[in-house]
Structure 1
Amino acid sequence: MKSMVIGGIILIIALIAGTYFVAGDAFNSDDYINSLTMLGAIAIITITVFVALKYVNQIKNDKATGELAEDNWDGIGEYKNPIPTGWGLAFIGVLVWLFWYWSFGYPTNGFSQIGQWNEETIEYNKKFASKWENPSDETLTAMGESLFLVQCAPCHGVDAEGIGGKAQNLTHRMSKESVEDVIRNGANNFKAEYPAGMPPMMLSDDAEIDAVSSYVAGGFKGEQPAAFGVCAGCHGADGKGIDYVAPNIVSYDDAVVMATLTNGKKGSIGIMPSFKGRLNPTQEKALATYIRSLGE
């Protein structure tokens, strides 16, 4: 037992020294919380080591005694002994500490910069929603332009032309090349909004793919190719989409822009990240309104 105690003391010293070596700089400040944390670490290390030594010693030397319960399993019985006093006191102590921490303890009752920021953000969002509850299209366009220059211009360019083709050109709905790519390879960018997605090679004839791509990219002007009937089954004869089936391929309507902001999208220079939670619904609508105005 003596050698176990000596070994336990050496282990405690080593663990405390290791803790101080890793986080010692934090305890040189004037923040008493850091000092309390170190004291707590020392207490936990000491108690843990000596409790472990106590039970190791008991396992080696103690013999089970007491009154056996009537029930047994495969000849293995259970003694009717009370719980260890130390375990019971520790359990009650943890409960007392829990209620103290919930009611008065640090940091639940202390100042929090994150908490203050959250409160101020919630209050600001309430004022914003109230002020712009029913904005006009002109107001939405102006608001959307400001948002675009901050959030979107780094990739799409201040003129929204995609910085030399490295990102989607937003001044028109889509290019012929992108339409052809979707026809040949399919797409499923908005699984939540349009669960089925679009399978590849809905059209297989090169001439038909070329005709449909030119028609869609050209803004649905001129005579509609007969092959577009395959597309109309999901996108509608006018190309304006069907809810939960396929998106609008004529213009950037609110649903398409909001789905893109929520889910992100694979692009030429990488993957556009999701903007979910970064913009409120009014700002998303404003951005969609501004992007549509670019094509006008």
Structure 2
Amino acid sequence: MKLLYAMLLLPVIHLFIFQYIPMYGVIIAFKDFNIAQGIWGSPWNRFEHFVTLFNDFIFIRALRNTLIISGLKLLFGFPAPILFALLLNEMKWLRFKKLTQSVSFLPHFMSWVVVASMLIEVVSPERGVVNYIITLFGGDPVHFLASKLYFIPLIIISDIWKEVGWASIIYIASIVSISPDLYEAGEMDGANRFQKAWYITIPSIMPVIIIMFILRISHILNGGFDQVLNLYNPLVYEVGDIIDTYVYRVGLVQFKFDYSAAVGLFKNVVGVILLVVTNQIVRRHSEHGVW
């Protein structure tokens, strides 16, 4: 037991140094920060940044886009790894099953810089395979990444493609832990493969699904900074600009560190509130929850 605590010590120290100590910097969200005066020497601003925040049309637009993109990712992206895990579980050819699972993991380990570059080439209006097929059937090339109509669907599809395999690991592990006796009992009762998945597999992994859903809700204001930053452009700011990219432009491009800290604090507070509220709602209707 002492050895286990000793192994835990290093990650706890790392977490404390790099995650908790820097939290004092959130004070600049309540100050008119000046580098020369420092964090403590800068004057307090009486919540002026938060007032400006909710009067800023660009921030409101970024908030709306974040909710839309995150909501669609939740709607389509959250069930995808569950469905993928269920389909893998139904595969009888073991070697093909392992190959499929291994290949599905690979996109997760590629950075969004690489994935975005691949996607840009695939949908390019001049040399992309998608537009080649469109023109082959007599259509006109479409600039997908510069279109407000197609940008969000591309964001959702590329996110699912990249993360579905990795996200399915926890569900696959939960399915493997289900007792084979339950499936044998289902077969004796005449259940087919779909019925066994619906009445045995899904209810058995429901606690894991609920916990993952609660954690996903708490990140509803995370629209995917790396992904959007590498794919969007000024032509699609109206539908593609999210809170994270807005903070990036305001904080690191315009050097408004105090204002960007206020935006980040707002996002994190909303995330904590959603986590607590969602967990309490789930706990009232079931015995499962994060705590």
| TM-score band w.r.t. shorter chain | under 0.3
More helix by share: 2
TM-score in terms of structure 2 length? 0.21
Q: Larger relative CO (CA 8 A, sep 6+): 1 or 2?
A: 2
Which is higher, the Rg of structure 1 or of structure 2? 1
